[in-house]
């Protein structure tokens, strides 16, 4: 679902940010002409390294930071100039931020108390929210009696209780250990699906972004570099930075000598199925799982010669580090299937590369 330039006529949970700029200290551009459209009911992730502007963007949407210029609309209505409590938006932070002196039920019902809802309505909504986050029967406990994962669920239930049109999540899983983080990823996706509320999720963890999002915006230096589905971002990165930041990637320096034809530094030439750029220097992106060791009786086809430097067994997969004859280093990953490694350190090998597996991106 797209939005018009002014966000007019959009669904209640649809968000439109236009030409946002924010500078700190007169020199640091935290937001540099950022424009993003987020559909109602979408799980949208802002992804990028520390300092890329993703949290500043989230805070501008919430009203905690005033942008220097640009506009923010939610459901076609301007948010600019509204204080945080006046916005139909709630935020879940990295720290659980639950009130330690209140019970779980009191925490969940806090926003409804501030809205002076009837006690019976609050009690029913609290029970509904506790069931939603799977904390039934724990309403009488204090946060100190809960695990970290349970406290984060309390924070989520409190944020969802007032039925915001937009829920902002600022790296809410980073304080959890790996097992809890994996569990909460599934919980967050389930909650978003069941409530239908628009989620805007901030993270620097590309695995979180790939596994949870409907769409992802990759940010760097206050700019949005690419917006797309997880598949689009991973399979068709628009820039070298995006390819390198999302998952693992072999980045091969090359020169485009003809449409779809490239020459590596060592003189080897490769074909890529998708390429429409002009001649000149580019980076060829090759995911490790898309390269394969060629068998001894296999036709040479499109391949690169090299020697195995290291073999890393990781249970389901085995990763081979190959020193190519061209001087570059390449990683490829093959399923282990419990079999011994196909090659050992020091072996001479050929790496088979399907043209459809290569993507040329600007340097």
Other Cβ atoms less than 10 A from the Cβ of 242: the count is 23
Residues 222 and 259 both lie in one domain: no
**pLDDT > 50? residue 251:** yes
User: How do residues 325-345 score in pLDDT, each as one tens digit?
Assistant: 888 899 999 988 866 778 899
Residues 357 and 267 both lie in one domain: yes
User: Sign (positive/negative) of CA torsion 155, 156, 162, 167?
Assistant: positive
**pLDDT > 60? residue 239:** yes
Residues 221 and 286 both lie in one domain: no
Decide if 264 contacts 328 (C-beta within 8 A).
yes
Edge to edge, the sheet with strand 303-314 lists 291-293, 348-353, 303-314, 317-324, 329-335
Residues 267 and 201 both lie in one domain: no
**pLDDT > 50? residue 194:** yes
The pLDDT value given to residue 9: 52
Tell which wins on pLDDT, 4 or 25.
25
Specify the CATH number for the domain of residue 89.
3.40.50.300
**What's the whole-number mean pLDDT along residues 255-278?**
85
Q: Which of 140, 166, 143, 144 is nearest to 155 (CA)?
A: 143
**pLDDT > 60? residue 3:** no
6 band by pLDDT with thresholds 50, 70 and 90: very low
12 band by pLDDT with thresholds 50, 70 and 90: confident
**pLDDT > 50? residue 2:** no
Say what percent of the chain tops pLDDT 70.
94
Decide if 11 contacts 1 (C-beta within 8 A).
yes
Backbone angles phi, psi at 185, to 5 degrees: -60, -45
The pLDDT value given to residue 337: 81
Structural domain contains residue 161? yes
Backbone angles phi, psi at 333, to 5 degrees: -125, 125
Decide if 46 contacts 15 (C-beta within 8 A).
no
Structural domain contains residue 322? yes
The pLDDT value given to residue 241: 94
- Eight-state DSSP code of residue 295: P
Specify the CATH number for the domain of residue 277.
2.40.50.140
Compute the distance between CA of residue 15 and CA of residue 346 in angstroms, rounded to an integer.
55
Decide if 61 contacts 44 (C-beta within 8 A).
no
Three-state DSSP at 22 gives strand
The pLDDT value given to residue 38: 97
Other Cβ atoms less than 10 A from the Cβ of 85: the count is 9
Decide if 50 contacts 222 (C-beta within 8 A).
no
The pLDDT value given to residue 299: 63
Structural domain contains residue 344? yes
Q: Whole-number mean pLDDT of the chain?
A: 89
Domains: count for the chain: 2
Q: Which two tokens stand for residue 11?
A: 């669904």
Compute the distance between CA of residue 351 and CA of residue 363 in angstroms, rounded to an integer.
24
**What's the whole-number mean pLDDT along residues 61-78?**
95
Q: Among 235, 257, 282, where does a domain finish?
A: 235
**What's the whole-number mean pLDDT along residues 204-212?**
92
**What's the whole-number mean pLDDT along residues 34-47?**
96
Can you spell out the DSSP letters for 107-131? Answer: HHTHHHHHTT--HHHHHHHHHHHHH
Structural domain containing residue 284: 248-361
């Amino acid at each position: 679902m797209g939005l018009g330039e002014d966000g007019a006529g959009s669904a209640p949970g649809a968000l439109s940010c236009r030409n946002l700029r924010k500078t700190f200290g007169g020199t640091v551009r935290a937001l540099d002409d950022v424009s993003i459209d987020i559909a109602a009911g979408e799980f949208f992730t802002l992804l990028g390294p520390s300092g890329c502007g993703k949290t500043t963007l989230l805070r501008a949407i919430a009203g905690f930071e005033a942008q220097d210029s640009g506009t923010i609309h939610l459901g076609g209505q301007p948010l600019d100039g509204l204080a945080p409590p006046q916005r139909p938006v709630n935020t879940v932070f990295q720290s659980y931020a639950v009130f330690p002196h209140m019970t779980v039920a009191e925490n969940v019902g806090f926003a409804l108390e501030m809205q002076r809802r009837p006690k019976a309505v609050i009690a029913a909504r609290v029970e509904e929210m506790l069931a939603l986050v799977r904390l039934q029967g724990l309403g009488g406990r204090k946060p100190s009696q809960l695990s970290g994962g349970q406290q984060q669920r309390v924070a989520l239930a409190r944020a969802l209780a007032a039925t915001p049109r937009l829920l902002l999540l600022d790296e809410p899983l980073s304080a959890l250990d790996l097992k809890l983080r994996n569990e909460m990823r599934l919980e967050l996706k389930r909650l978003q699906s069941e409530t239908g509320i628009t989620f805007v999720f901030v993270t620097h963890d590309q695995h979180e972004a790939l596994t949870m999002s409907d769409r992802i915006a990759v940010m760097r230096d206050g700019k949005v570099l690419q917006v797309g589905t997880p598949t689009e971002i991973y399979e068709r990165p628009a820039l070298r930075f995006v390819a390198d930041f999302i998952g693992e990637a072999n980045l091969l320096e090359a020169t485009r000598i003809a449409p779809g034809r490239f020459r590596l530094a060592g003189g080897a030439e490769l074909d890529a199925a998708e390429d429409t750029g002009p001649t000149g220097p580019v980076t060829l992106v090759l995911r490790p799982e898309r390269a394969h060791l060629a068998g001894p009786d296999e036709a040479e086809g499109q391949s690169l010669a090299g020697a195995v430097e290291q073999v890393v067994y990781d249970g389901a997969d085995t990763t081979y580090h190959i020193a190519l004859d061209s001087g570059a280093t390449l990683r490829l990953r093959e399923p282990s299937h419990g079999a011994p490694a196909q090659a050992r350190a020091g072996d001479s090998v050929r790496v088979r590369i399907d043209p459809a597996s290569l993507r040329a991106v600007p340097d």
